[in-house]
Amino acid sequence: TFNSTIINEQLPFNTYEYTVKDLNETSLYMFRIKSMNIYGEIPWSNDIPVQTIESIITSDDLPQLHVISYNSKENYLHFDYLPGDDHLRKINNEQLCLHIRQSSDGNIYQTINQCLSIHNNRVKWFLEKDFPYLKFSICSIKKQNICGQEIDMKEESNNRSTTAMIIGIAVTTCFLILIISIIIVILCCRWRKKRLTSNVNRTNK
């Protein structure tokens, strides 16, 4: 059984081509055509079989990574694509995965076992401290040997979460020191005022 869909489209006079969008790859479709005008309509044509082919993806079709950061608390790699990259108009994230190569010395890299699925420009992955050198690229899920240009994750991006934590601790510490200093100043002022009052009372006596 086939799922049938009727496309109603008003086409210009002498139109001989029409593009049907969102068809599945390597699938058989049956088309029937009919036309109508102010004088009436003609019957449906005979079934016309159309076989779609598999789309050919090259490394040039894949989007290029721009910035990568790591959230050590949730073990997420988050990334952005190169601004102005229009490759995602042809390919969506469901057809892509993130390819990772890691190294302990920056010279010899090894590939992790799987190409990671992408969800909202991030992947779930645990960053191992033994491999501080990382290279990333976007690959096709169907043909994982086809990948885009690799980029390195910069050390400051790798340690972004740690840096933010250190900054937070430093700000909190400074705030506490400020509060303690204010309390000490208030206590000193009260003590001084009390002492002056005591001296005045002695003088009056």
In the chain, what are the domain boundaries?
Answer: 59-161
pLDDT at 202: 64
Tokens representing 70 are 């790591």
- Would you call 96 exposed, middle or buried from its count of C-beta atoms within 10 A (0-12, 13-18, 19+)? buried
pLDDT at 130: 82
Low-confidence ranges of the chain (pLDDT < 70): 1-2, 84-90, 154-165, 199-205
User: Taking the domain 59-161, which CATH number applies?
Assistant: 2.60.40.10
SS3 for the chain, per residue? CCCCCCCCCCCCCCCCCCCCCCCCCCCEEEECCCCEECCEECCCCCCEEEECCCCCCCHHHCCCEEEEEEECCCCEEEEEECCCCCHHHCCCHHHEEEEEEEECCCCCCEECCCCEECECCEEECCCCCCCCEEEEEEEECCCCCCECCCEECCHHHHCHHHHHHHHHHHHHHHHHHHHHHHHHHHHHHHHHHHHHHHHHHHHHC
Asked if 154 contacts 132 with a C-beta cutoff of 8 angstroms, the reply is no
pLDDT at 81: 82
pLDDT at 198: 72
pLDDT at 51: 92
pLDDT at 164: 56
